[in-house]
Copies of this chain bind each other. A is one copy, B any other.
């Protein structure tokens, strides 16, 4: 029953629709990409535009694009830790502003594409810092790191454009590794925790707790924002659900697959309980299952394969980078998603050009109509989508 909100509203206003339908429509207005908001915001104050861009940027981290979901996620982060929430907000604002100053494409800026990498860098600097909360000096590297992401985003987009690939979170992954390498665990100004690889041996054999593992699957979605508490993680799942139920299902599925992959190579129990093994699987699964590809049972199978690849690659990279005390961040999911987008063969026929990616339900509806022979709408949108 999930359909394009705007179209429905257009019809509803001119017909004798029931009140129930109107309520549903109001709800649907808040779901999906909320693209109609962009037109409405055009002549508003810059600060308001910046806020919407920032909130869109917050959701881009989790492959969504909806300002209300962004507000929910920010709330979850402030709930988990006010200092983390503040750093995240700072990061998204600084990088969006840097993009404006550097004269980046305004559609990209208002779509939040320049905010999410900066947010993650800022957030993770706070998480890895061993100087404790409210260590205000951390604001300096957080601002510099967020600004660096804009340089990397812009440069990498020129590079990846040749294959119509998204930049996704490459800038974040590069910047945070450089920051951690720059400072080192014993730095007098910016000390940070070292990371224990998931393949490290446990001191003594402890029994695996099923409840904790199940909890870890939900935490896996929260760990995309480096959030390790159950309540905020569930709120983040809710935020994704608001944008697209299909994406939320794939997020949880991917996190479960990641946990399964971890069990199969006997990782430390801690990394299963904390959800750290799930988030790469979740991202890998979401990217393929509905977002960059039209959802069908075939892409669903590929999404599961992508989740497994992401999860195993994450364990491998974590073990590798762990030898020098570094985290693998979301390298595995980013590389795997890029690989899936490059695939030839049957998956490639379902691929949506990066510039036209919207909420999975929107993509799905376009294709369903197209297959039903709805040629009128097809000519206007689908021809572009399925060239």
Q: Kindly identify, within residues 166 to 221 of chain A, every residue whose CB is under 8 Å from any CB belonging to chain B.
A: 177-179, 181-184, 186-190, 199, 201
Q: Closest CB of chain B to A355's CB: distance in Å?
A: 15
Partner of A339, one of B151, B179, B342, B345: B151
Q: Closest CB of chain B to A331's CB: distance in Å?
A: 12
Q: Please, how many angstroms separate the alpha-carbon atoms of A342 and B102 in the complex? A: 14
Partner of A156, one of B152, B156, B184, B342: B342
**Cβ of A177: which chain B residues have Cβ within 8 Å of it?**
316
**Which B-chain residue is minimally distant from A197 (CB atoms)?**
B184
B316 in contact with A181 (CB, 8 Å): yes
A107 at interface, CB cutoff 8 A: no
A183 in contact with B265 (CB, 8 Å): yes
Q: Closest CB of chain B to A9's CB: distance in Å?
A: 36
A154 at interface, CB cutoff 8 A: yes
**Cβ of A74: which chain B residues have Cβ within 8 Å of it?**
none
Q: Closest CB of chain B to A300's CB: distance in Å?
A: 14
**Cβ of A380: which chain B residues have Cβ within 8 Å of it?**
none
**Which B-chain residue is minimally distant from A177 (CB atoms)?**
B316
A15 at interface, CB cutoff 8 A: no
B182 in contact with A312 (CB, 8 Å): yes
Q: Please, how many angstroms separate the alpha-carbon atoms of A319 and B162 in the complex? A: 33
**Cβ of A41: which chain B residues have Cβ within 8 Å of it?**
none
B151 in contact with A316 (CB, 8 Å): no
A291 at interface, CB cutoff 8 A: no
B148 in contact with A189 (CB, 8 Å): no
A38 at interface, CB cutoff 8 A: no
A304 at interface, CB cutoff 8 A: no
Q: Closest CB of chain B to A101's CB: distance in Å?
A: 9
A309 at interface, CB cutoff 8 A: yes
Partner of A316, one of B144, B152, B182, B320: B182
A240 at interface, CB cutoff 8 A: no
Q: Closest CB of chain B to A87's CB: distance in Å?
A: 19
A13 at interface, CB cutoff 8 A: no
**Cβ of A347: which chain B residues have Cβ within 8 Å of it?**
102-103
A312 in contact with B178 (CB, 8 Å): yes
Q: Please, how many angstroms separate the alpha-carbon atoms of A342 and B150 in the complex? A: 12
Partner of A187, one of B104, B148, B158, B199: B199
Complex interface bits, A292-326 against B, C-beta within 8 A gives 1, otherwise 0? 00000000000001001100110111011001100
Q: List 19 A-B contacts (CB under 8 A).
A: A99-B345, A104-B344, A105-B344, A151-B339, A154-B343, A154-B345, A155-B340, A155-B343, A157-B344, A159-B163, A159-B342, A179-B316, A181-B319, A182-B265, A182-B315, A182-B319, A187-B199, A187-B266, A323-B324
A104-B344, A182-B199, A189-B265 given; 15 more Cβ-contact pairs under 8 Å: A99-B345, A102-B346, A103-B346, A105-B344, A151-B309, A151-B340, A158-B343, A159-B342, A178-B316, A179-B316, A181-B319, A182-B312, A187-B265, A190-B265, A320-B324
